[in-house]
Chain A
Amino acid sequence: MDLVQIAAGKTLSSSAVFLLMTVLLLAAARRVSTAIILFALQSAIITAQVMATAYTEKAAEAWIVAAMVFALKVVAIPSALLWLVEQLKVSRAMEPSLSSAKAVFITALMIFLSYAAVQPYARESRVPEDALAAAVALILTGAFLMVSQRKALMQIVGLLVLENGIFLAALTTTFGMPLIIEIGIFFDLLMGILIMGIFAFRIRDTFDHLDVTKLRQLRG
């Protein structure tokens, strides 16, 4: 076994821990820009995982997927979101509806829950347990970010984290979907961010703030 192979194997097994760390940091983040950078970091870890999978499974298509993840989720989307934060010039603090301590505690509980949920399945089908648990944890905390944060931009970050979780789940269980489908999903993601950006501007222009909990006109 050569050195690269060992490195690839180690990447797969240890990256889950790093992913869980980004999730906990996200729960504690106080600024939108911090959250965006954490998302970029998280996507970088996932890129490394895709590359490791591409190497160990000798899957040529996976290299293309890795390049796309890097270009889109590490570079393009985070910089677009950071640009959006600059342009919207709203207050940078996130004003979450929960304190950091509580949010970190709940996130930790979710990580615990994810391990418990995937354990019986992972044992039966020889899927790396850590990676699968990390994927489920990303999905849960992404959804949690979306409901616990007030800022429209943080809801976008929550959605991206959730999407990262689904991507990771596909990667660990089936080594990813067919390439053409992955490309389509990435395209949807990009268009989605674009349209959400347009809406963020509109919310600011019509309401003078980005606090989605104050969008309460439509009821019943």
Chain B
Amino acid sequence: MILLLPLLIPLVGAAVLLGFGTGGRARLLALAVGAAEIAAILRVVLGVYFAGPVHFGRFLRADGLSAFFLLNVALVSGLAIVYSLDYLRHVEGSRFSSPRWFYALLFFFVFTMIGVCVSSNLGLLWIMMEATTLASALLVGFYNTRGAVEAGWKYLIVCTVGIAFALFGTIVLYMAAIKSGLAPEAALDWTVLMEAAPKLGSELALLQLSFVFVMVGYGTKVGFVPMHSWLPDAHAEAPSPISALLSAVLLNCAMYTLLRYDAIIARAIGANFSHTLLLVFGAASLVTAGLLIVVQRDLKRMLAYSSIEHMGIVAIGVGLGGALGLYGALLHTLNHSLGKSLLFFAAGNVRQNFGTSRMDRIGGLARRLPKTAMALSLGTLAIVGLPPFALFVSEFAILSEAFAQSRILIATLFLATLSIVFGGMFHHLFGMLFREGKQSPASTGLELSEALPIAITVLGLAWFGVHIPAGLKGLIERAIAAL
């Protein structure tokens, strides 16, 4: 029953918002629903942490891995809801583009992502992943400008086709499970599949085929190169709190589905096949996105490419496996979501004040918007992986695993790309901070509701960079144990 609440609250909340959320009430209602939803999620996370996996019926289950990603959903969605309170002040209420629709769709989006984390059935997992696209497409096209409509359409089409391949992969795995003698009702349940994995090993060709399709399908939603074409457009055109949710939660949820499949396939036919695929896609994403960051002209597009780069790093961590690889990868998903939320919140403020996110039109940030400039600088320091911020720790863990396994090629690519990204991002940042700008900003500084989420992410990044709390460490250990 405690598993049902995190699903019901955002769903009911979205309905209530659509029904009664006119005028100023939308914000208050959203805060209340958001608080209830976070409380419900925390209850599940604590339950899993202290008492082990919980399940509800045949289709819902949460173990350590689900709990870890649920925590990510709760954290970032909470920050995004608070940040949106004042961010939405300029939005006039046209159809599907009012604060009421914004929050309703946001809660529906959150519902689908929670659904991804608590599905115990690979079919339901697919249904929820497809629903994340449907729920967020209207949010991506929220501003209704030419760019937003184009980005929304592209997002919808590319991700739906990608996900269709994942459905095919799911069917192939189902077929392999049935041929190995599992009952049709149980053949999609991943707890059953994990137990029966050694039996599945005889269907080598089918399992490999299945993982390739799943990798391409869900990989589209993770944003792996070369299936990433939707990602920069969607991140750049969406309202900034939605960009933060896409980058910091959605990509992680897609990664979560790959982790589930990887665990099943690795148990059945050995880790070599799936891990090699993850390494290849991870390295391709890391290097390509890293190089593309340098040539970006738009602040939010640059951040989007940085997300692709970081998903590449996570995939490399998972692909390396071992004691530190997986630990580093999981920690990195959380660290990256903190860092990227911070950056998108700051970028949203820049865009609101300058009316554009084109970097050549933004200048003199340091003097004109000192608080925003500070947030942007701290975020950049964190995201390029400098100590004392948290991303340094997780990147270092993955890198040491690469060296421990003497994967010199991976380690070299990793280090080279990180230094290119370092140079590229700071070049762009200094331009915006100190260049004489043509345009002057509309206002100065941040509202309280915008400053608060920014402060929380900065504190989190600094805290996890210096010391990883025992609770978080325990949660990650439980997550790894579930794989």
Contacts and interface: CB of A to CB of B under 8 A. Distances in A.
Interface stretch (B8-16, B81-89, B120-128, B364-372): B120-128
B29 interface: no
Interface stretch (B35-43, B46-54, B148-156, B444-452): B148-156
A155 B154 CA distance: 11
A94 interface: no
Contacts of B151: 218
18 contacts: A125-B179, A139-B168, A159-B160, A166-B171, A169-B171, A178-B123, A181-B123, A185-B123, A192-B130, A199-B152, A199-B153, A206-B146, A207-B146, A215-B150, A217-B147, A217-B150, A218-B151, A218-B237
A102 to B, nearest CB: 22
Nearest to B122: A181
A177 B301 CA distance: 40
B156 A199 contact: yes
A170 B171 contact: yes
A203 B156 CA distance: 13
Given A166-B171, A184-B124, A202 B141 contact: yes
Nearest to B168: A166
A195 B152 CA distance: 10
A198 B138 contact: yes
Interface of A: 125, 139, 143, 146, 152, 155, 159, 162-163, 166, 169-170, 173-174, 177-178, 180-181, 184-185, 187-188, 191-192, 195-196, 198-199, 202-203, 206-207, 212, 215, 217-218, 220
Contacts of A187: 127
Contacts of B157: 146, 155, 159, 196
Contacts of B178: 174
A146 B159 CA distance: 13
Contact of B171 (A174, A180, A207): A174
Interface string B94-132: 001000000000000000000000000101101100110
A96 to B, nearest CB: 17
B288 interface: no
Interface of B: 59, 96, 121, 123-124, 126-127, 130-131, 134, 137-138, 141, 144-147, 149-154, 156-157, 160-161, 164, 167-168, 171, 174-175, 178-179, 184-185, 188, 232-233, 236-237, 292, 295-297, 301
Contacts, number: 109
B149 A199 contact: yes
A119 to B, nearest CB: 14
Contacts of B175: 173-174
A191 B134 contact: yes
Contacts of A196: 156-157
Question: Nearest 10 pairs between A and B by C-beta?
Answer: A181-B123, A184-B127, A215-B150, A218-B233, A188-B130, A170-B171, A173-B175, A202-B149, A206-B149, A174-B175
Contacts of A178: 123, 184-185, 188
A169 B170 CA distance: 11
A218 B188 CA distance: 39
B184 A192 contact: no
A177 B123 contact: yes
Nearest to A187: B127
